[in-house]
Amino acid sequence: MNQVTPITRATTLKDWETDQEVRWCPGCGDYAILKAVQRTMPEIGTAPENTVFISGIGCSSRFPYYMETYGFHTIHGRAPAFATGLKLANPNLDVWIVTGDGDGLSIGGNHTMHLIRRNLDCQIMLFNNEIYGLTKGQYSPTSRVGTTSPSTPYGSVDRPAQPAAFALGAGARFVARGFDVSKELPNVLKAAHAHKGAAFIEIFQNCIVYNKDVFEDFAAPKGAEDRQLWLKHGEPMLYAKGTKGIALDADELHLKTVDVVDGDWEAAGVIVHDVTNRSVAHMLVEMRFGEFPMALGVLYDDPRPTFEADVWRQNAAAREGKTADLQGLLKKGQTWTVTEGGPEL
């Protein structure tokens, strides 16, 4: 199995739905993400039997039960480690990791980091709802300062992690953002799948019970164009119907928003998005919403050799010209033979 051969098959949305009753709260953003994934899979063209969804623990981690594929609902925070073993055992599988802000950045932050730095070929969908849903509403590592919750009745005081910045800092070669009800989400998923290597997707997800509408400030349909910057490779970073853009403040070395007059974005100094520009990616993931629009879409995409391919290559090289003679191996080293006459070398 030295060559990875993509297994493709024509399917429809129905082929990716299981007979299991979906058990998220009515109105949960997870429904929209599930539909987006089920709708995208036929377009990607992979075969369900060759697809594996692996999750940890949390609301998002129920996901595998609802996909008519192979699925493994594992333990809290460890999905990346299971995925690593599985992909090393069979690199032909199309592996998707489903995790959340608690699962993937709190208890499992370590594994997320190492999976990304190793660059295992898989898609990591991190559903960020800035709250612990399944344990009934405690604040999470992405909750904003001051979040009141059962465990922080006076408001949380610790600073939140930024998932996309974390991923890029860990060495990610693909970082994207989307949100649950966005029509663009399937395109983000397709781009992630097309990327060979660890593709990290932060998906903002509305927890309607414990953190309702926490992303409304940028995700609300009304006025969305003023607050969302959808990045496209090779296109200027424009928003607000082309009247505003993102430019580099060359003196202070940071990004700034600029007004674009009469569509002349070049004159305004608006940057053209290059998904392979790592320096700009670092600035994009750090762009604070409010002062800036929310950067969405593919922020960074520049592939490198994948972990499982390198492992298989090294294994193959080490096996080159050798035979697996176990009996011979047992006899290796310092041996002696005992005969009736006594031992000899």
Partner 1 sequence: MATAVVDEADKRQSPLSDAVVVRFAGDSGDGMQLTGGQFTLSSALAGNDFATFPDFPAEIRAPQGTLFGVSAFQINFGSSAIDTAGDAPDVLVAMNPAALKTNVPSLKPGGLIIADEGEFNDRNLAKAKYDANPLDDGSLAKWQLLKLNISQLTMDAVKPFGLGNKEALRCKNMWTLGLALWMFDRDRQPLIDWLNGKFAKAPDLAAANIAALNAGHAYGETAELAGPLKQHHVDPAPVAPGLYRTLTGAEGIALGLVAGAQLAKLPMFFGGYPITPASAILHHLSRLKEYDVTTFQAEDEIAAICSAIGASYGGALGVTSSSGPGIALKGEAMGLAIMTELPLVIVNSQRGGPSTGLPTKTEQSDLYQAVYGRNGDSPMPVISARSPGDAFDCAIEAVRIAVQYMTPVMLLTDGYIANAAEPWAVPDLTTYEAFPVEFLTEVPDGGFKPYGRDDKLARPWVKPGTPGLLHRIGGIEKEVDTGHINYAPGNHQAMTDIRKNKIDGIKVPDQIVELGAEGGKLAVVGWGSTFGPIHQAVRRKRAEGLDVSHVHIRHIWPLPANLGELLKSFDKVIVPEMNTGQLKTVLRDQYLVDAKPVNKVSGQPFTIAEIEAAIEEALK
Q: Which residues bind partner 1 (CB under 8 A)?
A: 7, 18, 20, 47-50, 52, 54, 57, 64-65, 67-75, 78, 80-90, 92-93, 110-111, 113-114, 311, 314-315, 318-319, 322-324, 326-327, 329-340, 342-345
CA distances to 17, 158, 298, 337 from 112, rounded to whole Å, are: 27, 21, 19, 52
Nearer to partner 1, 82 or 166 (CB): 82
Q: Which residues contact 277 (CB under 8 A, 6 or more apart)?
A: 300
Smallest separation (angstroms) from partner 1 to the CB of 337? 5
Smallest separation (angstroms) from partner 1 to the CB of 80? 8
Smallest separation (angstroms) from partner 1 to the CB of 93? 6
Smallest separation (angstroms) from partner 1 to the CB of 60? 14
Determine the length of the chain.
345
Nearer to partner 1, 94 or 130 (CB): 94
| Among 56, 52, 54, 60, residue whose Cα is nearest residue 77 | 56
| Among 125, 136, 237, residue whose Cα is nearest residue 180 | 125
What is the β-pairing status of strands 254-259 and 244-249?
A: antiparallel
10 Å CB burial of residue 294 (0-12, 13-18, 19+) is buried
Please tell me the distance from the alpha carbon of residue 170 to that of residue 52, in angstroms, as a whole number.
Answer: 24
Cβ atoms of 312 and 2 closer than 8 Å: yes
Nearer to partner 1, 250 or 345 (CB): 345
Smallest separation (angstroms) from partner 1 to the CB of 276? 28
Nearer to partner 1, 16 or 300 (CB): 16
Please tell me the distance from the alpha carbon of residue 94 to that of residue 37, in angstroms, as a whole number.
Answer: 14
For 7, the 3-state DSSP assignment is coil
Nearer to partner 1, 49 or 213 (CB): 49
Smallest separation (angstroms) from partner 1 to the CB of 125? 17
Please provide the distance, in angstroms rounded to a whole number, between the alpha carbons at the two ends of the chain. Answer: 41
Smallest separation (angstroms) from partner 1 to the CB of 198? 14
Nearer to partner 1, 10 or 250 (CB): 10
Nearer to partner 1, 3 or 337 (CB): 337
Please tell me the distance from the alpha carbon of residue 49 to that of residue 144, in angstroms, as a whole number.
Answer: 40
